[in-house]
Every structure is written in C-alpha cells, then in structure tokens.
Amino acid sequence: MIVVSDTSAITSLLQIGRVDLLPSLYSGVIIPEAVARELKRNHPILPDFIKTVMVVNTSIVAKFSGELDLGEAEAIALMIEGKGDLLLMDERAGRRLARREGVPLIGLLGVLTEAKQRGLITSLRNELDQLETVAGFRLSAELKRRVLQTAGES
C-alpha cells in the first residue's frame, strides 16, 4: 500500500524519531513537491524512502487551493490522480475535503495504532506522550482515551 502524506504527519514523526514506522507499514511513501519544500525548511535531508512526486493535473490543485494550503491541496491531487492508496493527513479542513472527494484517509493516530497492532511499537501511550510533549501535537483527553482503548491500553 502506498501512502501519500502531507507535511504535518511526517514532521511529527521526524520530531519524535518514529518516521521509520512508515516504511515498515507501507510499501511506499510519497509526497508532493510543495510538501517536500515545506519539510526541507526544518529537515534538509529527508529519509530515502520518501519519494517526491509532481502533480500532473494542476487544475485539481487550483480547485482546492482556496480551501487548503498548497501541500494539502497537492497531496489530495496526487490521490485523485491515482498515485497512492491512502492519504496521511490530520488537518481538519484537508480531511473534510478529502472525504468529500472520496479519498481514503488515515491520520497519525491511525498510523501509530496500526504500528502498535503489528508489534512495531510496544506502548502507544508513550508515543502519544512524545507527540504531545516533543512535537506539540494537540490531542483531546477524549480522543486520547478512545485511541488507547482501541489499542488495548486503556
């Protein structure tokens, strides 16, 4: 399964030292050019498994650019073009638009839950704590409780 990602998910995984989970879970990780530019501002060297792909149909990006930032619009455009199987995105507006377009989604919490289920991480709670304290990822207490319960860590 090939995942197309926007900026924030990869940034958060890089910040907590868990970007290695992506190639363990997915056969490919691709990002659009706008996301590559955004990532390289703070992470000049990206992992080799992340491939940058150019959006072909720029009219899709133009259509979405009024609602989303360029990286999110390009990531959804790559999915619509059939470049990936699953969109990795956490931003509410981007997820709403992706759903409207019929794009299959996963968020960072879904990735970490899947990693826990596959035995790639031992404690989802520890990873969520790292996301909150190191990456500044905001989780409501209720969402955290539900995710931990799903992973059997309630």
Clarify whether residues 98 and 113 are in a common domain: no
For residue 25, what is the domain's CATH number? 3.40.50.1010
Clarify whether residues 25 and 74 are in a common domain: yes
What pLDDT digit, counting tens, does each position of 12-70 carry? 999 999 999 999 999 999 999 999 999 999 999 999 999 999 999 999 999 999 999 99
Q: What is the mean pLDDT of residues 9-13?
A: 95
The tokens describing 134, both together, are 């190191």
Clarify whether residues 20 and 83 are in a common domain: yes
The tokens describing 76, both together, are 């959804």
Which pTM does this prediction carry? 0.94
The confidence score (pLDDT) of residue 67 equals 92
Clarify whether residues 96 and 124 are in a common domain: no
Clarify whether residues 25 and 87 are in a common domain: yes
Q: Is the pLDDT of residue 154 over 90?
A: no
Clarify whether residues 145 and 76 are in a common domain: no
Domain that holds residue 12: 2-107
Look up residue 85 and give its amino acid.
D
Sequence-distant (6+) residues with CB within 8 A of 33 are 52, 53, 54, 55, 74
Least confident window among 10-14, 123-127, 150-154:
150-154
The confidence score (pLDDT) of residue 49 equals 97
Clarify whether residues 39 and 101 are in a common domain: yes
Clarify whether residues 26 and 56 are in a common domain: yes
Clarify whether residues 14 and 56 are in a common domain: yes
What DSSP line would sit under 105-129, residue for residue? EE-HHHHHHHHHHTTS-S-HHHHHH
What pLDDT digit, counting tens, does each position of 59-103 carry? 999 999 999 999 999 999 999 999 999 999 999 999 999 999 999
Clarify whether residues 119 and 55 are in a common domain: no
Clarify whether residues 7 and 38 are in a common domain: yes
The distance between the two most distant Cα atoms of the chain, rounded to a whole number of Å, is: 45
Q: How many domains, the chain?
A: 2
The answer to whether 75 and 32 have CB atoms below 8 angstroms apart is yes
Clarify whether residues 65 and 99 are in a common domain: yes
Element (H, E) at 4: strand 2-5
